[in-house]
Amino acid sequence: IAGITQAPTSQILAAGRRMTLRCTQDMRHNAMYWYRQDLGLGLRLIHYSNTAGTTGKGEVPDGYSVSRANTDDFPLTLASAVPSQTSVYFCASSTGTGDTDTQYFGPGTRLTVL
Amino acid sequence: GQNIDQPTEMTATEGAIVQINCTYQTSGFNGLFWYQQHAGEAPTFLSYNVLDGLEEKGRFSSFLSRSKGYSYLLLKELQMKDSASYLCAVRDSNYQLIWGAGTKLIIKP
């Protein structure tokens, strides 16, 4: 593994189903993030984690949950999917330190909720 | 509220220069980022400004004026592979990134 991986690449899901999007990074970054990207809108932060064992809510957390059991993994769960959660989901990570603290993105998961 | 404004779409000619503007109103300022995103791909980091002035990196330069809440990304010697969306993001007082909707740049031969 090099960088950040996400799975699945794409998924079609029936409304009401539970779904977990996976994200793994091998850069030993402390901070990780989940964004959604919708046409005509900027990336919106769903949840974040500054370090293993801690999580925080972003701009649009409702309907989503996360966990950070270790440094490498940061799964995003939709407990009961709704059509408005149709989007492209990006996971990102950063060192969590330093002035720049650049975020590096995974390839994304395209989710369609019907 | 917090707001990042960028033009929705721009068109330029191969070999030319293009300037993509970004204005922002955020609660606090801890740096401004530019990312490039090709269609169907992840955003990739281009540049970071935290102090006023111009940062040059090869064909790409980024400028910041904190007093005006303004930045631009300058792309020189445009190539067809520069066709992409360019995202402006500001890190706010909570150290979270606030993102603009992106500028789709179309390069014509």
Residue A99 in contact with partner chain B when CB distance is under 8 A: yes
Q: Taking all residues of chain A, what is their mean pLDDT, rounded to a whole number?
A: 95
Report pLDDT digits (tens) over B15-36.
999 999 999 999 999 999 999 9
Residue A45 in contact with partner chain B when CB distance is under 8 A: yes
Report pLDDT digits (tens) over A74-90.
999 999 999 999 999 99
Interface test with A, best of B97, B98, B103, B104 (most A CBs within 10 A): B97
Q: What is the pLDDT of residue B68?
A: 96
Would you put residue B88 in left (φ > 0), alpha (ψ -120 to 50) or beta?
beta
Q: What is the mean pLDDT of residues A12-19?
A: 97
Of A40, A44, A105, the CB nearest to B43: A105
Q: What is the pLDDT confidence band of residue A98, given thresholds at 50, 70 and 90?
A: confident
Q: What is the pLDDT confidence band of residue B45, given thresholds at 50, 70 and 90?
A: very high
Of B41, B95, B102, the CB nearest to A42: B102
Q: What is the pLDDT of residue A15?
A: 98
Residue A60 in contact with partner chain B when CB distance is under 8 A: no
Contact: B44, A102; criterion CB under 8 Å: no
Residues of B in contact with A102 (CB under 8 A): 33, 45, 48
| 3-state secondary structure labels for all residues of chain A | CCCEEEECCEEEECCCCCEEEEEEECCCCCEEEEEEECCCCCCEEEEEECCCCCCEECCCCCCEEECCCCCCECCEEECCCCHHHCEEEEEEEECCCCCCCCCEECCCEEEEEC
Q: Is the pLDDT of residue A2 over 90?
A: no
Contact: B99, A44; criterion CB under 8 Å: yes
Nearest to B25 by CA among B60, B9, B1: B1
Contact: B50, A99; criterion CB under 8 Å: yes
Residues of A in contact with B101 (CB under 8 A): 40-42
Q: Which residue of A has its CA nearest to B41?
A: A107
Q: What is the pLDDT of residue A1?
A: 52
Q: What is the pLDDT confidence band of residue A99, given thresholds at 50, 70 and 90?
A: confident
Report pLDDT digits (tens) over A40-70.
898 999 999 999 999 999 999 999 999 999 9
Q: What is the mean pLDDT of residues B43-69?
A: 96
